[in-house]
Amino acid sequence: KHSVPMLSLGNAFDENDLINFEKKILNFLNEDKNFNIIYSAEPKIDGISASLTYKNGKFITGLSRGDGKEGEDITENLKTIKGIPLKLDIVNLPELLEIRGEVFINHEDFKKLNKERQDKGLTIFANPRNCAAGSLRQLDSKVTAQRPLRIFCYAPGQIIGSTFNSQSQFLEYLNIYQEYSIIVLWQF
């Protein structure tokens, strides 16, 4: 079970979607249009949501989103993803830190993987999202390790021993802006 529900994310495709989103926020906060809202915008990655839990800096559990309340234990398969550290080297580390992210395969890696499979006479995958999902559900983590999986971390889950005042503060704490947004996202 997830300690904090893992809800699905919303997205915006145009200016009207953003305007309507802000109207909903202002209505929820019972504020007028002059209220100053600071946004933290990130790309929406089409992959499989995962939750990474660290206790005293050590990666102990990884869950899929599942139904949002309960997911599958995919710890061993997540450990094979190079972008997921098994031990965090962060100053002032909380006792318990849960990080939410999206596991995906970028298009270039997906094409290469399918070409290799085709050359070996194996069935090719239909799309990167399904390939990522199937890779995380493998019973043998050695199979998962052979897939070019990446992760984009975007949100906190449960945190014990520290507090963050904003999404931006949390991402800066984890160096997500520098490590993921600049390096990984420009590879699409």
Residues with catalytic annotation? Answer: 44
> The dihedral of CA 17, 154, 101, 124: what is its sign?
positive
**Token pair of 117, please?**
């499979």
Rounded Cα distance, 143 and 133, in Å:
13
In this structure, what are the phi and psi dihedrals at residue 111, rounded to the nearest 5 degrees? -60, -45
Nearest to 147 by CA among 155, 136, 162: 136
How does strand 58-64 pair with strand 48-55? antiparallel
Q: What is the CA radius of gyration of the chain?
A: 18
**Could you count the other beta carbons within 10 Å of the beta carbon of residue 180?**
21
